[in-house]
Structures are given as structure tokens and as C-alpha cells.
């Protein structure tokens, strides 16, 4: 019995590590709010992309986020190449982790890719404002 518990836990941890091995950093929504909305000196070479579908995005998103659905990332990389830091958000963090992994192979190696943990759900859960 204990053997199977160890196996299941090991597989679960390995799977979680693969999902979040985005090739970039992670940041929680409080940290994002600080660097994205509260900073008076936000560098022009940073952007925030929301990789949800347009219908989800139009329901409410982090202010000043750009909608770049996950399925269109390859077509959008030309517009992202000028940024040194790309914050990536989705609903809960899964799609944005995939997006970071995809962008890692499409953008310059010195581009900071930051997956926002908890996504828009966590943003709204903290009571932070959204745009529609």
C-alpha cells in the first residue's frame, strides 16, 4: 500500500514540475500588481499578455493586458520581440505556463518570461480591478 502512495505522489510531483517548467519565472498576482499597476516607472520594454480566448478576455482582464490567445502565439511573436520582459497570464496558470514554454523557443534567450501563478482568477479573488 505505501509503495503505491509513493508512486502516485512521485508521478504527481513529476507532472506538476513538467507543467510549470515554463522556461521562465513565476510571480503571484500581488507581485504583478506591484510591478504592473503600482509602479510609476514601468519600463517600456515590458508587456503583459493574456493567453485566454477572446470571449474570456472580454469578460474581464488585468488592466492594460493584451489578448494573445494561446493558439496564436506563433503568429504574434514578431510583435513581442521588442519586449525584454513578458508577463503571461491566463485563467489559472496552466495555459500561461504552456505559453511560456512556447515563447521560450520563439523569443530571444534573454527575454524574461514570467508566468502569473493563479491567473486572472487569483487577480479577481484578491479584489483587484479589471478592464472589460
Top pLDDT among 7 and 112 is at 112
d(CA 43, CA 22): 23
Interval 12-64: pLDDT, tens: 554 455 444 545 699 999 999 999 988 777 778 999 999 999 999 999 999 99
Distance from C-alpha of 98 to C-alpha of 103, rounded to nearest angstrom? 9
**pLDDT in the model for residue 44:** 87
Confidence check: pLDDT of 124 > 80: yes
Which CA distances in Å does 109 have to 12, 34, 80, 102, 128? 29, 25, 13, 12, 32
Confidence at residue 100, expressed as pLDDT on a 0 to 100 scale: 95
How far is 17 from 8, CA to CA, in rounded Å? 14
Q: Number of helices (H) and strands (E) in the chain: give both, helices first.
A: 6, 5
pLDDT band of residue 4 (cuts 50, 70, 90) is low
Residue-wise pLDDT tens digits, 67-92: 999 999 999 999 999 999 999 999 99
Q: Is 107 left (phi over 0), alpha (psi -120 to 50) or beta?
A: beta
What's 5's DSSP letter?
Answer: H
pLDDT at position 51: 98
**Does the pLDDT value for residue 11 go beyond 80?**
no
What contacts 27, CB < 8 A, 6 or more positions away? 35, 87, 114, 115, 116, 117
Amino acid at each position: 500500500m505505501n509503495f503505491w502512495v509513493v508512486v502516485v505522489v512521485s508521478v504527481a510531483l513529476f507532472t506538476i514540475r513538467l507543467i510549470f517548467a515554463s522556461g521562465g519565472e513565476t510571480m503571484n498576482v500581488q507581485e504583478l500588481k506591484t510591478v504592473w499597476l503600482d509602479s510609476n516607472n514601468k519600463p517600456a520594454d515590458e508587456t503583459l499578455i493574456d493567453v485566454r480566448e477572446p470571449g474570456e478576455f472580454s469578460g474581464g482582464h488585468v488592466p492594460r493586458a493584451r489578448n494573445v490567445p494561446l493558439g496564436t502565439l506563433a503568429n504574434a511573436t514578431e510583435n513581442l520581440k521588442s519586449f525584454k520582459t513578458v508577463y503571461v497570464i491566463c485563467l489559472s496558470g496552466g495555459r500561461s505556463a504552456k505559453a511560456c514554454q512556447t515563447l521560450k523557443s520563439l523569443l530571444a534567450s534573454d527575454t524574461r518570461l514570467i508566468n502569473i501563478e493563479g491567473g486572472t482568477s487569483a487577480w479577481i479573488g484578491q479584489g483587484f480591478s479589471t478592464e472589460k
